[in-house]
Structure 1
Amino acid sequence: MKKFKAGLFGLGVVGSGVYKALQQNEKYGVSIEKIAVKNIEKERNLELPNGILTTEADEILDNTDLDIIIELINDPKEAFSIVKKAFERGKSVVSANKKMVALYHKEILELREKHGVKFFYEGAVCGSVPILRLLDQHYKSDQVKSIKAIANGTCNFILSKMVGENQDYATALKDAQELGFAELDPYSDVSGEDTRFKLSIMIYHAFGVFVHPNEIPLHGINHLDEHIKDFAQKHHLKLKLVGEAQQQNGKITAKVEPQLVNESHDFYTIENEYNGIVVDAEFSGEQFVKGKGAGSFPTALAVLSNLKDLKYDLAIAKSLVKKEIEFSNKSKREIYFISGFENEISGLTILDQEEKYYIVNTDFNRLINLKQEHLNLYWVKIPQDIFNKIKNHEVLI
């Protein structure tokens, strides 16, 4: 079988993992002939052949000997330009750039169809967890009702440390940065933005609808303090940042926010840098998958899997679909733990309260509006079954 030649854009954490794996194992049948980087002189813990590095994108894109482009850079706009040019030159692309895919998703798939090439991006969502493959293949004959995901290892690591090891947010974040799970600027992770990018992509594969990430309301973990940590520990609960989307009555709703889970929920076992996804479908019911969501080799594995798909000409990617389903950002009333306010908040249905926090029945959009007045306000969703157990326990005491 033909050995494919590839051009690689980006030699960071994931790019290095892909290069090492291809060098060490010939079973993939792909050789990297040229690598585009920003700085050739940068020290790298890799043995590279002379002349393999370049700073000129066109040196790769215009090379007619190359069959595949592997796109693994950070900048979404630059990445989209690379993908577009590759398509125009008849080259298929494998990417792990969740921000680029989420922001340009519909346009990329339209260009893919127009130029008759392939575009795989399993590595863009949840690292080693093959959730896009599962949604495209396993659920293609089923009707997905909802999807819930812990999709950011940085947030999950921080929340695990806060509740499990009694660390404050700042200390847990510092540990995550020192271990390489968090960037020096962790905004995209802790704000929930990274999870929102991934949820946007999963919505298309689950429901066949393009939802731009900016349409999905979000609330991150960057204002969580000791009050919610103490509350979670007191009731033997864990904190998780969850992206969720559901289809109901012909409409898709979605959001990203921190939630409390107990030992009966699959997410209770997801710790540190691991990701987990629960898919609920009409015939399959609820199914749960977990795995490492970040890192050099876990994400590289997803890229390598897509390279194999290209090598064997597998048509696993979801085709463009058009469904008459609307996206709605209207939120329903749920139960929330809220804290981080300086003054008393009126106009809420308060179910319980202490000096530093309330438990309320309200909706996400109302809390978003309140945050404009109380900048440090934060909330954590309490599922109804957990709230019922807490109240029953307090009654017994």
Structure 2
Amino acid sequence: MKKFKAGLFGLGVVGSGVYKALQQNGKYGISIEKIAVKNIDKKRDLELPNGILTTAAVEILDNTDLDIIIELINDPEEAFSIVKKAFKKGKSVVSANKKMVALYHKEILELREKHGVKFFYEGAVCGSVPILRLLDQHYKSDQVNSIKAIANGTCNFILSKMVSENQGYDLALKDAQDLGFAELDPYSDVSGEDTRFKLSIMIYHAFGLFIHPNEIPLQGINYLDENIKDFAQKHHLKIKLIGEAQEVNGKITAKVEPQLVNESHDFYNIENEYNGILVDAVFAGEQFVKGKGAGSFPTALAVLSNLKDLKYDLAVAKIAKKEIKSYSKNSKTEIYFIAGFNDNFNFQGLEVLNKEEGYILAKGQFDYLEELKKGNPDLYWVQLSENIFEELVNQEALI
């Protein structure tokens, strides 16, 4: 069987994992011939052949001996430029850049078809969990009703430390940074933006609809305080940042927000850097998968899996000629734990169910809470199901 030659862009955490795996295991039949980096002189924990590193992208893109391009850099704009140029050269691409894919999803897949190449990006979503593969293959003959996901290991790690180990948000974030789960600037993770990118990608594979991430309502975990931590601990609940999308009568709704879950929920025991995805479909019913969503080798595994897809010429899903579903803003009224408001906070527009020092439980709509936040920048909300609320009432846990 032919041995494939690849060019690699980026030698960070994931890129190093991919390179090490290919060097240590010849079963993949793929060799990395050239690696493009920003700084050749940077110290790296890798043994690299002389001359394999370059700062010139053209040394890879114009190399006619290379069969595959592996794109693993951070900058979405630069990554998109690399992908477009690779396609024009007739080269197939494997990427793990969720921001690039989410922002340019439809355009990338259209260019892929135009140039007759392949583009795989399993590593862009949930690390070692093969959710895109499952949606494309396992659920291809089914109809997905909804998808819910803990899709950011950094947030899940922080929330685990806060509730299970009684840490404050700032200390939990520092631990995540010290262990390499969070960047020095953690905004994309803790704001929920990263989860939103991944949800946007999953929506296409689950429902066949391209939705720009900016259209998905968002509430992160960066405003959480002692009020919600104490509430969760008192009632034996856990806080999880969940991205979810569902279809009702051909309309797709989506959102990203922290939610309270109890021990009967599949997400309850998803801790630290692990991800979990719950898919509900017409024939299969509910199915749940979990795995490590962060780190060098979990994400590298997804990239390696896609490299094998290319090597064995696995087919890719075609873009639907016409989108038969449409996106609708989520206007559902739900129960929320709401805190972070000031003394002059106006509760009008919310159905207050319970009021305590520092927080309320109330029925409201996500978009209304977004409006309230404009005048109350520290305002935050955490959704809890009617079942959990009713249990608390029945247990007389609420005054």
**TM-score between the two structures when normalised by the length of structure 2:** 0.98
Sequence identity of aligned pairs in percent?
A: 80
Partners of 1:52 and 1:394 in 2: CA distance: 67
Partners of 1:99 and 1:318 in 2: CA distance: 20
Partners of 1:93 and 1:346 in 2: CA distance: 51
Query: What one-letter code is carried by the residue in structure 1 that aligns with 2:220?
Result: G
Partners of 2:55 and 2:132 in 1: CA distance: 32
Contact 2:354 2:398 in 1 (8 A): no
| Structure 2 equivalent of residue 298 of structure 1 | 298
| Structure 1 equivalent of residue 354 of structure 2 | 352
Partners of 2:102 and 2:21 in 1: CA distance: 27
Query: What one-letter code is carried by the residue in structure 2 that aligns with 1:357?
Result: Y
Partners of 1:392 and 1:82 in 2: CA distance: 58
Contact 2:10 2:37 in 1 (8 A): yes
| Structure 2 equivalent of residue 391 of structure 1 | 393
| Structure 2 equivalent of residue 131 of structure 1 | 131
Partners of 1:341 and 1:296 in 2: CA distance: 40
Can you list the C-alpha shifts for 1:123-142, whole angstroms capped at 9, x where unaligned? 00000000000000000000
Can you list the C-alpha shifts for 1:90-125, whole angstroms capped at 9, x where unaligned? 000000000000000000000000000000000000
Partners of 2:398 and 2:62 in 1: CA distance: 73
Partners of 1:19 and 1:250 in 2: CA distance: 43
For residue 279 of structure 1, report the CA deviation from its aligned partner. 0.2
Q: Number of residues paired by the alignment?
A: 396
Classify the secondary structure of the residue corresponding to 2:49: coil
Can you list the C-alpha shifts for 1:125-163, whole angstroms capped at 9, x where unaligned? 000000000000000000000000000000000000000
For residue 395 of structure 1, report the CA deviation from its aligned partner. 6.8
1:318 aligns with 2:320: no
Query: What one-letter code is carried by the residue in structure 2 that aligns with 1:214?
Result: N
For residue 342 of structure 1, report the CA deviation from its aligned partner. 1.1
| Structure 2 equivalent of residue 156 of structure 1 | 156
Root mean square deviation, CA, Å: 1.0
Query: What one-letter code is carried by the residue in structure 2 that aligns with 1:320?
Result: I
Classify the secondary structure of the residue corresponding to 1:32: strand
Contact 1:7 1:32 in 2 (8 A): yes
Classify the secondary structure of the residue corresponding to 2:354: strand
**Change beyond 3 A, Cα 1:207–1:360:** same
Classify the secondary structure of the residue corresponding to 1:64: coil
1:194 aligns with 2:194: yes
Partners of 1:345 and 1:294 in 2: CA distance: 40
**1:370 aligned to which of 369, 372, 375:** 372
For residue 318 of structure 1, report the CA deviation from its aligned partner. 2.1
| Structure 1 equivalent of residue 308 of structure 2 | 308
Unaligned 5+ segments in structure 2 are none
Contact 1:145 1:246 in 2 (8 A): yes
Partners of 1:318 and 1:392 in 2: CA distance: 49
**TM-score between the two structures when normalised by the length of structure 1:** 0.99
Runs (4+) of structure 1 exceeding 2 A deviation are none
Contact 1:205 1:318 in 2 (8 A): no
**Change beyond 3 A, Cα 1:190–1:67:** same
Partners of 1:396 and 1:40 in 2: CA distance: 61
| Structure 1 equivalent of residue 382 of structure 2 | 380
Classify the secondary structure of the residue corresponding to 2:298: helix
| Structure 2 equivalent of residue 6 of structure 1 | 6
Unaligned 5+ segments in structure 1 are none
Classify the secondary structure of the residue corresponding to 1:268: coil
Partners of 1:396 and 1:178 in 2: CA distance: 38
Q: Which residues of 2 match residues 7-86 of structure 1 at below 5 A? A: 7-86=7-86
Partners of 1:368 and 1:301 in 2: CA distance: 38
Classify the secondary structure of the residue corresponding to 1:394: coil
For residue 345 of structure 1, report the CA deviation from its aligned partner. 2.4
Can you list the C-alpha shifts for 1:160-186, whole angstroms capped at 9, x where unaligned? 000000000000000000000000000
Query: What one-letter code is carried by the residue in structure 2 that aligns with 1:97?
Result: N
Query: What one-letter code is carried by the residue in structure 2 that aligns with 1:281?
Result: A
Partners of 1:144 and 1:172 in 2: CA distance: 35
